[in-house]
Structure 1
């Protein structure tokens, strides 16, 4: 294998596949990146067994020659060393050549490196993705779904299935749900090309966060599901992730349908007030804010840290309907939920002092956030 490539394009592709590289792998070869060269261009692959990312760099793009091919072939190179070398090369032209079947020569300007590689046929093959369940989603919409749900997955491995986002297709909509048992985030999305019938899969939250970092430039993403894998596919990226095993809990029964108190607030103002109210209680144990309805137009937020002090905030409400309320909750959970709702005004529906409450945009049912209150007495 021998080719010349534009360094910027090589770095961009490397930055994508490096997100799948881990030192904690059972197969030593997975600490490397597989590089394959053919007439169409260069494909680089990185994997940690759970996530596999393939990045494609075309030979030409918009009339610009990116790769000059001298000899096709493939090789696996040590990811960390290769990435560090390419990042610090002195010129924009990089020559890669494989000699003696495993020695990788990297030249740029007056710099020359030699890395010991491995044969590409020793690298695990990509999962075989059938097309039984396949649909397309616009990239901005996919990024919104990840942003609106991914933060609510569990970080505890005691219930592994809760570390993922549950994707469910029912009727003509895609339901994406995440919960860590203390809060819940749900996004409902209507899509035109959803497959027939229902399906359900739990995608690891970590996988979705990594995917979110590398799909900025694409207009749309093709999504393919099998029993054990999901593939997110664009013109330049293949992103494979294993699916989580286990039965995801039925969350529909957690969402209340009747409310005792409903409060409409300006999203930005309320978020800023919660942020200030939690300033004196940043640690998890004391990160609690208390909300009290004082009249029909304002709510009072208070936070108390015995070692630090106390803060009080008065927030104007657009409307307050129902019974008077006193309730305590995690400031962090409330701020996460508010940031996930893109709306000037939000409505919070309360069903009791120790019952879950929900947040939604005033003018949309698409995004729902649920939070469990905290007992403070």
Structure 2
């Protein structure tokens, strides 16, 4: 194998593939990157068994030659050393050559490195994903869906299914839900192109966080292909495979209250900033609890009290308050995460009592819904 490549393009592809590399793998060869060169271009694959990322670099792009292939072939190189070497090479022209015994020579300017590679035939093959269930969503929409849900997944492995986000397609609508049993984040969207069969899958939260780093902030379409144990997100030059979580996701629809005792319409950004300030004193407290009260009129009070530190009270003008008077306490972090997901728009908060879950949503948009369980302090 021998080829010459532009270093900057190689680094772009490497930065994506490295997101799948972990040093804590049970199969030693997975600490390496599989590199394959054909007359069409270069393909690099990285995997940690849970996620697999495959990036391809064409021989030519926009009329510019990126790769010159002298001899096709493939090799597996230690990811950590290979990426560090490429990052620190002196010039933008890199020649990579594999000789007998899997000896790999990397030359750039007056620098030359020698790495010993591994047998590419020992590297696991890419998962089989059939085309039965597929749909397409714009890249920026997928990033929004991830940002608005993934923060609510459970961080504890005691219930593994809750460490993922539930993607369910029914009646042409995609509903994405995450919950850690103390809060819930839901996002609905209507894909233009949907599979004929409804589906229900749970994608690990960690996989979605890595996918979010790779996808571009554009409306470039991303194909999503589902199989029994895998989901594949496919862009023009990246394949992102993730395993799916096994088990049945709990039915969360019954958690969402259908009638409310108190409803508040308020500017989301103002409320977020007030809770952020109130949490300054609450942070010392183990639970980071903030109190919220609506007691007649349009004035809301946000407060926190930490016996060792002090207390803070702040008044906010709501746009509308209807229903019964209310005093409630909640985790400042959960509330701030929910408000950031709705992103500074005017919001409605609907309460069903001091110890019942309450929901937040944008006043002019039903697609995002956040639910939080209060904390008993009153």
Contact 1:274–1:301 (Cα < 8 Å) also in 2:
yes
Contact 1:343–1:362 (Cα < 8 Å) also in 2:
no
Contact 1:103–1:115 (Cα < 8 Å) also in 2:
yes
Per-residue deviation at 1:296? 1.8
**What SS does the aligned partner of 1:286 have?**
coil
Q: Does 1:374 align with 2:375?
A: yes
Aligned residue number for residue 207 of structure 2 = 207
Aligned residue number for residue 162 of structure 2 = 162
Per-residue deviation at 1:186? 0.4
Which 4+ stretches in 1 moved above 2 angstroms?
Answer: none
Aligned residue number for residue 18 of structure 1 = 18
Q: Does 1:328 align with 2:307?
A: no
**What SS does the aligned partner of 1:285 have?**
coil
Contact 2:2–2:70 (Cα < 8 Å) also in 1:
yes
**TM-score, normalised on structure 2?**
0.98
Q: Does 1:358 align with 2:356?
A: no
Per-residue deviation at 1:298? 1.0
Q: Does 1:96 align with 2:96?
A: yes
Contact 1:280–1:303 (Cα < 8 Å) also in 2:
yes
Q: Alpha carbon RMSD of aligned pairs, Å?
A: 1.0
The unaligned stretches of length 5 or more in structure 2 are none
Per-residue deviation at 1:284? 6.5
Contact 1:286–1:305 (Cα < 8 Å) also in 2:
no
Per-residue deviation at 1:101? 4.0
Distance 1:49 1:66 in 2: 30
Aligned residue number for residue 230 of structure 1 = 231
Q: Residue 11 and residue 250 in structure 1: after superposition, are their counterparts in 2 closer, same or farther (change >3 A)?
A: same
Aligned residue number for residue 143 of structure 1 = 143
Distance 1:284 1:276 in 2: 14
Q: Which moved more, 1:275-284 or 1:348-357?
A: 275-284
Contact 2:269–2:343 (Cα < 8 Å) also in 1:
no
**What SS does the aligned partner of 1:365 have?**
strand
- How many residue pairs were aligned? 377
Aligned residue number for residue 282 of structure 1 = 283
Aligned residue number for residue 79 of structure 1 = 79
Contact 1:343–1:361 (Cα < 8 Å) also in 2:
no
**TM-score, normalised on structure 1?**
0.98
Distance 1:114 1:197 in 2: 52
The unaligned stretches of length 5 or more in structure 1 are none
CA deviation string 1:70-126 (max 9, x = no partner):
100000000000011111111111110001141111111111110110111110000
Contact 1:101–1:119 (Cα < 8 Å) also in 2:
no
Distance 1:194 1:261 in 2: 38
Distance 1:230 1:284 in 2: 41
Distance 1:311 1:51 in 2: 45
Alignment of structure 1 residues 34-183 onto 2, 5 Å: 34-183=34-183
